[in-house]
Amino acid sequence: MARMTARERRDQLVGVAKAVFAELGYDGATVEEIAARAGVSKPVLYEHFGGKEGIYAVVVDRESTRLLDKITSYIHGEAGGRQMVHASAMAFLHYIEEDPDGFRVLTRDSPSSLGTGGIGGLLADIAAKAEGVLQDFFVRSGLDPDSAIIYAGGLVGMVAHVGAWWAPVQQPDAATVAAHITALAYHGLKGLPSNPVASLDLPTPTSE
């Protein structure tokens, strides 16, 4: 058997580590377990990543990038509100279908000392991307583009939370779940008032 190149070995270790972190979590995973499953000695893993924290950070970074790229590739500035919401939901659900281990790693709690940002940081990045698309949609619709970040965060959070619920069961199918998410979000967007605060028609709060 041909010897792996340094890059091939690194990719192999990342793949094995992702499976271990998905199964055991960060705290439960050990360098010994990752090395044993990869069929290497611990010094090999330390040589490439410096230890468990290093390889965990690489796994999270790779998965975050993959998911962000997938979602942003599904949406574009010319899309209408319904198409944008549906595409985002399908991208997220397809990622879960294709890589459940990666999704489990991203949604597990990670040590704050690592500074990886975890799922919260990733969702903030996705919301920032969605904001740009929503701003275009808001301008075309005569709405305030400065409020786009609020709606982007809400939409991304909704898709992510539904995805987290759906991941372990994957029933009903992704297309059905995406259709329900789109129906809820789009019918809200379709009737969006230009002044949401005024539309509530609530009494002005008074200070005591």
What are the structural domains of the chain? 58-192 (1.10.357.10)
Asked if residues 94 and 49 have their Cβ atoms less than 8 Å apart, the reply is no
pLDDT of the residue at 69: 85
- What are the tens digits of pLDDT across the range 82-118? 787 888 889 889 999 999 999 889 887 666 556 555 6
Backbone angles phi, psi at 103, to 5 degrees: -65, -40
* Banded model confidence at residue 206, pLDDT cuts 50, 70, 90: low
Q: How much is the mean pLDDT over the chain?
A: 84
Contact predicate 106/63, CB 8 Å? yes
> What type of residue is 38?
A
What's residue 51's pLDDT?
Answer: 93
pLDDT tens digits for 114-144?
Answer: 655 567 777 888 788 778 778 887 888 888 8
The DSSP element (H or E) to which 193 belongs, if any, is none
Per the CB < 8 A criterion, the answer to whether 70 and 94 are in contact is yes
